[in-house]
């Protein structure tokens, strides 16, 4: 594995209970969550994941806002760490994530806190949005019950959203 610590490592204790069964890690880069189906929009990432030492033949080349490879209510969880802010139409992405979740399935999102200047969309051009907990929750609250979430910045300048499909 590369010398890098993926963002989700900082919240492993919090997210682990919700990432069980069949699920996807959207925007996984080279560090997909163990057991998740890796999905990333970068061809170079997917090509590398399919080779040694990873051997993740099930890795999927796709954007997080179009999950046609999954049926409605097919997955037990959708996980994304530091990815949603990279998707131009984050509302469409959240609709797709909701669509593929089974009833009782979990939506787990870890993202940079908007107050962190280094990750602010005005300063970091790969980020299209300065998402807040409220922005995410307002998009999903009709179909997702809140399990955990806060607008508070954690010690790694991120915040966590965990919801359960109604």
Mean pLDDT in residue range 28-45:
93
In a domain, 113, yes or no: yes
Spacing of C-alpha 109 from chain mean position: 5
> Is position 145 within any domain?
yes
Please report the pLDDT score of residue 128 as a whole number.
Answer: 75
Q: Angle between the 133-140 and 90-100 helix axes, to the nearest 10 degrees?
A: 50
- Proportion of the chain above pLDDT 90, given as a percent: 64
Q: Is residue 14 domain-resident?
A: yes
Residue 2, in any domain of the structure: no
Q: What pLDDT was estimated at residue 106?
A: 98
pLDDT of residue 150: 84
Q: What is the mean pLDDT of residues 56-74?
A: 95
pLDDT band (50, 70, 90) for residue 117 = low
What CATH number does residue 118 fall under?
Answer: 3.40.50.150
In a domain, residue 49? The reply is: yes
Helix or strand (DSSP H, E) at 147: strand 144-149
Q: What whole-number distance in Å separates Cα of residue 121 and Cα of residue 113? A: 11
Q: Is residue 100 part of a domain?
A: yes
The answer to whether residue 12 sits within a structural domain is: yes
Does 1 fall in a domain?
Answer: no
CA distances from 120 to 25, 41, 110, 125 (A): 23, 21, 15, 8
**What's the pTM value of the predicted model, to 2 decimals?**
0.90
Count how many domains the chain has. 1
Domain that holds residue 82: 7-165
């Amino acid at each position: 594995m590369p010398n890098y610590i993926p963002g989700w490592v900082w919240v492993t204790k919090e997210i682990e209970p919700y990432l069980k069964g069949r699920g996807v890690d959207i925007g996984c880069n080279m560090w997909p969550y163990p057991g998740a189906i890796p999905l990333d929009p970068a061809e170079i990432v997917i090509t590398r994941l399919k080779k040694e030492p990873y051997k993740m033949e099930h890795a999927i080349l796709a954007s997080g806002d179009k999950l046609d490879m999954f049926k409605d209510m097919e997955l037990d969880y959708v996980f994304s760490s530091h990815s949603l802010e990279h998707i131009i139409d984050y509302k469409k992405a959240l609709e797709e994530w909701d669509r593929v979740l089974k009833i009782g399935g979990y939506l787990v999102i870890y993202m940079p806190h908007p107050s962190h200047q280094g990750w602010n969309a005005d300063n970091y051009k790969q980020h299209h949005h300065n998402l807040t907990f409220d922005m995410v929750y307002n998009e999903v609250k009709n179909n997702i019950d809140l399990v955990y979430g806060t607008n508070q910045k954690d010690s790694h300048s991120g915040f966590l959203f965990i919801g359960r499909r109604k």
